[in-house]
């Protein structure tokens, strides 16, 4: 039995020629500063025209007061209840650095950390070391540790004090506890199996042995590297890639994603989207590359997820002008996005990232749905205008059902 709303979608959806465009302006929701938000301050003639013919609303991503990470934020948007489908930090970090994960791989997020002479943790992030030092430590660890008890261990720098560990081998389970006690003053703890399955015990054993070996290697490296505070690792959010039902099966869509950052490509693949072919060169927003992929390949799909990252990055930097400018820039590509002639256009974000908070937040997001069969609210797309729009207050899990309904892709429920 699928969780709501996938249950209803699975029993109601059918294939049609109609097309849905989902635009995610990452972290777009904001709070007013001197009466304006980046959305209200931006110059968006194209978006305004579309918004006037759209239904508006304010949408809560996961639950009231809950600040979602990008993983839960996107899963909710795609119609997957993130309270049901728990995708661990390890898996999200692995997807985020562009790894694929198979069924015989277990991913963990690692922290480089510092313990004192008595073995208790003095800094869970080792003074937030640089990515350069992280890379040197990973190099050192990889030279000394490759296999642990029949499992291959692969290590990757994520950024700053964060790394990713991927354990690979036959008969290793993903249901084990963290080695991070979560606070300073405690000692690192042993990973334990969370089940009766011996495969989970094997994973816990490997991770505990790895942690001990890694600490030894890191202490050795301290004598080579000046001012290196790292003498241990903490492993968190350990797990396998969950088996999510594919959007192809549940929604009867041919879904494609257009995103330049690996994390978002990863999350879209997790629900069965195809990443539209794009050069793998380059980093950052890469709007020109995304638009080229969209122009050439959107036509092979009837659902497109189009991701815009920089709105979030500017929010995280507390950069109001920058966030406004990113919205201005998005407005310029709106006509080209509409050239695909979608039947439904759904625009929102995966969470709010208010400039005032410099971080993700819990605030409901402005949402607009354009379709032939909507109730047009005749307003701009801003936080204030979305309040009291005809979509009312809703949840992100409601958005895909609404998009599917507006595309006339859902059958009647009951006689």
Q: Which residues bind its own copies (CB under 8 A)?
A: 4-5, 8, 12, 31-32, 58, 62-72, 82-83, 86-89, 92-93, 109, 237, 354, 356-357, 359-364, 373-377, 383-384, 387-395, 397-406, 410-415
Task: Indicate the residue among 334 and 399 with the shorter CB distance to its own copies.
Answer: 399
Distance of closest approach, residue 82 Cβ to its own copies, in angstroms: 6
* Dist CA 194 CA 197 (whole Å): 8
Distance of closest approach, residue 156 Cβ to its own copies, in angstroms: 15
Residues 6+ apart with CB under 8 A from 243: none
Alpha helices (H) in 195-339, listed in sequence order: 198-222, 247-250, 262-270, 287-297, 310-316, 320-338
Distance of closest approach, residue 313 Cβ to its own copies, in angstroms: 16
Task: Indicate the residue among 292 and 384 with the shorter CB distance to its own copies.
Answer: 384
Task: Indicate the residue among 59 and 208 with the shorter CB distance to its own copies.
Answer: 59
Task: Indicate the residue among 164 and 334 with the shorter CB distance to its own copies.
Answer: 164
3 state SS of 234 = strand
Distance of closest approach, residue 351 Cβ to its own copies, in angstroms: 9
- For 268-412, strand residue ranges (E) read 274-275, 303-308, 344-348, 365-371, 392-395
Contact 57, 402 (CB under 8 A): no
- Which helix H or strand E contains 257, and what residues bound it? strand 255-258
Distance of closest approach, residue 107 Cβ to its own copies, in angstroms: 11
Distance of closest approach, residue 292 Cβ to its own copies, in angstroms: 30
Distance of closest approach, residue 8 Cβ to its own copies, in angstroms: 6
Task: Indicate the residue among 89 and 241 with the shorter CB distance to its own copies.
Answer: 89
- Which helix H or strand E contains 404, and what residues bound it? helix 399-406
Place of tokens 């562009």: 98
Contact 365, 352 (CB under 8 A): yes
Task: Indicate the residue among 209 and 387 with the shorter CB distance to its own copies.
Answer: 387
Task: Indicate the residue among 78 and 294 with the shorter CB distance to its own copies.
Answer: 78
Q: What are phi and psi of 236, to 5 degrees?
A: -135, 160
Task: Indicate the residue among 208 and 361 with the shorter CB distance to its own copies.
Answer: 361
Residue 394: CB atoms within 10 A of its CB come to: 15
Task: Indicate the residue among 294 and 381 with the shorter CB distance to its own copies.
Answer: 381
Distance of closest approach, residue 241 Cβ to its own copies, in angstroms: 14
Task: Indicate the residue among 67 and 287 with the shorter CB distance to its own copies.
Answer: 67
Distance of closest approach, residue 87 Cβ to its own copies, in angstroms: 7
> What's the maximum distance between 2 C-alpha atoms anywhere in the chain?
75
* Dist CA 213 CA 207 (whole Å): 10
Task: Indicate the residue among 132 and 415 with the shorter CB distance to its own copies.
Answer: 415
* Dist CA 10 CA 410 (whole Å): 9
Distance of closest approach, residue 53 Cβ to its own copies, in angstroms: 11
Residues 6+ apart with CB under 8 A from 381: 39, 44, 47, 48, 50, 51, 54, 56, 347, 366, 368
* Dist CA 112 CA 119 (whole Å): 15
Place of tokens 């950069």: 319
Place of tokens 């816990």: 204
Distance of closest approach, residue 349 Cβ to its own copies, in angstroms: 15
Place of tokens 């354009």: 370
Contact 161, 123 (CB under 8 A): no
Tokens of 142: 């990889």
């Amino acid at each position: 039995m699928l969780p709501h709303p996938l249950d209803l979608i699975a029993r109601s959806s059918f294939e049609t020629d109609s097309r849905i465009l989902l635009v995610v302006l990452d972290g777009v929701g904001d709070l007013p500063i001197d009466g304006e938000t980046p959305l209200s301050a931006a110059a968006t003639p194209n978006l305004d025209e579309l918004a006037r013919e759209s239904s508006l609303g304010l949408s809560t991503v996961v639950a009231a007061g809950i600040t979602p990470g990008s993983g839960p934020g996107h899963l909710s948007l795609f119609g997957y209840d993130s309270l049901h489908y728990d995708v661990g930090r390890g898996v999200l970090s692995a997807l985020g650095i562009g790894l694929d994960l198979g069924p015989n791989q277990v991913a963990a997020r690692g922290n480089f950390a510092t313990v004192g002479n008595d073995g208790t943790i003095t800094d869970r992030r080792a003074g937030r070391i640089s990515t350069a030092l992280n890379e040197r430590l990973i190099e050192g660890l990889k030279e000394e540790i490759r296999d642990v008890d029949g499992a291959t261990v692969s290590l990757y720098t994520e950024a700053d004090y964060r790394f990713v560990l991927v354990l690979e081998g036959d008969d290793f389970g993903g249901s084990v506890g963290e080695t991070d006690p979560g606070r300073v003053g405690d000692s690192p703890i042993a990973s334990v199996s969370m089940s009766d399955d011996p495969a989970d015990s094997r994973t816990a054993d490997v991770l505990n042995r790895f942690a001990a070996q890694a600490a030894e290697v890191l202490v050795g490296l301290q004598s080579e590297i000046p001012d290196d505070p790292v003498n241990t690792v903490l492993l968190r959010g350990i797990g396998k890639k969950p088996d999510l039902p594919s959007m192809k099966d549940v929604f009867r869509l041919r879904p494609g994603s257009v995103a330049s950052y690996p994390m978002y490509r990863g999350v879209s693949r997790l629900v069965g989207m195809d990443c539209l072919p794009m050069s793998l060169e380059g980093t950052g927003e890469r709007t020109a590359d995304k638009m080229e992929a969209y122009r050439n390949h959107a036509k092979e799909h009837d659902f497109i997820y189009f991701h815009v990252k920089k709105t979030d990055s500017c929010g995280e930097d507390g950069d109001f002008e920058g966030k406004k400018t990113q919205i201005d820039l998005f407005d310029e590509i709106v006509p080209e996005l509409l050239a695909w002639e979608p039947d439904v256009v759904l625009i929102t974000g995966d969470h709010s990232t208010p400039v005032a908070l410099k971080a993700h937040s819990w605030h409901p997001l402005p949402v607009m749905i354009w379709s032939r069969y909507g109730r047009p609210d005749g307003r701009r797309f801003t936080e204030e205008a979305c309040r009291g729009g005809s979509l009312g207050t809703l949840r992100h899990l409601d958005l895909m059902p609404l998009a599917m309904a507006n595309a006339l892709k859902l059958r009647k429920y009951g006689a």
